[in-house]
Amino acid sequence: MVFSTLSGDEKLVIFVQLCNALDPGVAVAFASASSELWELTHAPRQQLQADHEAAAALGRKAAKRSCKELREAMRVVWCRKGLSSDDLSLLGTLGAVLPALENLRLIFEPATGPDGVQRLAEKLVAGALPAVTSLFLSDTHVGDAGASALAAALGRGALPRLKRLTLYTTTIGDAGLVALAPALRRLPALEFLDLGRNPLGDEGLAALVAPPPPPAGAPPPTTAGGLAKLKLLSLNRTQINDAGCAALAAALHGVALSALEHLLMQDIPASHAAKAAVQRAGLRVEWCPGEQ
């Protein structure tokens, strides 16, 4: 009775909310409730079918034989599959309907172009990828725009359980890390962060490890705050110089990075003295300073 009182627009809104490219059966069953609704949903049903076929093709590139297998997967890897930016945009849309996924990896996917990861992140709604604890991006362009989009996605509440983030050889510079740093500092479970082989430097690192100043008149912080659970930080082959090392040493001397166990800084341009200061500040930390 209540259903019959709804307007066509209201029924269409319900149909759209039921659409799931990985499991379209519920929406189709709803559309079958009446001939009027079936006709009303003709265009969005066609789009749903197209999205379902595209999702199936995307899943096959990750060795998932069906949408059901993709939907139930705990680990998905795309490596050298020639993904396009449209593929990553679709993946972002699917983030809301991948409840089991814990480990997501994109490796050497240059065909996504300069905006692929940006488009993926822009599609991640609040609560998307709810079970993902590990996000691994390597040799896939992220760039400063992609890093900023990822920061916005994290700010919306996507990837709420993220523990391990690898952004290796993803062309992120200082501007990208400055944009991303506040969102990373707010991740409650982040334990592993690999930023290796990116052109980021001192400004980006300072934004990451230096806690924001307390409000005027507030007492100094007594707890670790941001990055409180971070155990490994990799800055290998970045452009960290002496100023960045100073910021890192200060963070290690204070309450920030109190859980850090491993620090990787191979092949950075910082001086021997600056690296030594970091090592002294983090005596409890196992680290790899690289060539002196």
CA distance 219 to 165: 32
52 and 196 assigned to the same domain: no
Q: Are 257 and 225 in contact (CB under 8 A)?
A: no
How many Cα atoms sit within 13 Å of 169 on the Cβ side? 8
> 237 with 209: CB under 8 angstroms?
no
Q: How many residues does the chain have?
A: 292
Q: Does pTM surpass 0.85?
A: yes
Same domain, 129 and 224: yes
Tokens 């990553």, located at residue:
88
Q: Whole-angstrom Cα distance, residue 178 to residue 184?
A: 10
Can you give the pLDDT at residue 225? 54
Instruction: Note whether 198 and 54 are same-domain residues.
Output: no
Looking at the structure, tell me whether residues 224 and 194 fall in a common domain: yes
Q: Tell me the range of 6-10, 208-212, 279-283 where mean pLDDT is highest.
A: 279-283
Is 89 found in the same domain as 4?
A: no
> Domains in the chain: how many in total?
2
SS (H, E, C) 188-223: CCCCEEECCCCCCCHHHHHHHHCCCCCCCCCCCCCC
- Same-domain check for residues 15 and 105: no
8-state DSSP, 23: -
Does residue 255 contact residue 216 with C-beta atoms inside 8 Å?
no
Range(s) of the domain holding residue 115: 67-288
Is residue 3 very low, low, confident or very high in pLDDT (cuts 50, 70, 90)?
A: low
Please, which pLDDT band fits residue 124 given cuts at 50, 70 and 90?
A: very high
Residue 269 C-beta-side C-alpha neighbours within 13 Å: 10
CB 133 within 8 A of CB 160: no
Angstrom distance (rounded) from CA 167 to CA 13: 38
Question: How far apart are the C-alpha atoms of 159 and 120, rounded to whole Å?
Answer: 13
Give the end of a domain, one of 66, 83, 103: 66
Q: What is the CATH number of the domain that holds 131?
A: 3.80.10.10
Q: What is the mean pLDDT of residues 253-260?
A: 89
- Say if residue 47 is in the same domain as residue 168: no
Which of 66, 97, 116 is the last residue in one of the domains? 66
Cα of 270 vs its chain's centroid, Å: 29
Q: Does an H or E element contain 290, and which?
A: none
**Other Cβ atoms closer than 10 A to 265:** 24
Confidence of residue 223 (pLDDT cuts 50, 70, 90): very low
Based on the domain organization, do 71 and 48 belong to the same domain? no
Task: For the beta carbon of residue 42, count every other beta carbon within 10 angstroms.
Answer: 9
What number is the average pLDDT over the span 68-87? Answer: 97
Q: Whole-angstrom Cα distance, residue 290 to residue 287?
A: 9
* 105/228: higher pLDDT: 105
Q: Yes or no: say if 264 and 236 are a contact pair by the CB < 8 Å rule.
A: yes
Give the Cα separation of 192 and 174 in Å (integer). Answer: 20
Mean pLDDT of the chain: 92
Residues 172 and 205 in one domain: yes
Tell me the pLDDT tens digit for each residue of 166-216.
999 999 999 999 999 999 999 999 999 999 999 999 999 999 998 666 666
Q: Collapsing DSSP states into helix, strand and coil, what is residue 16?
A: helix
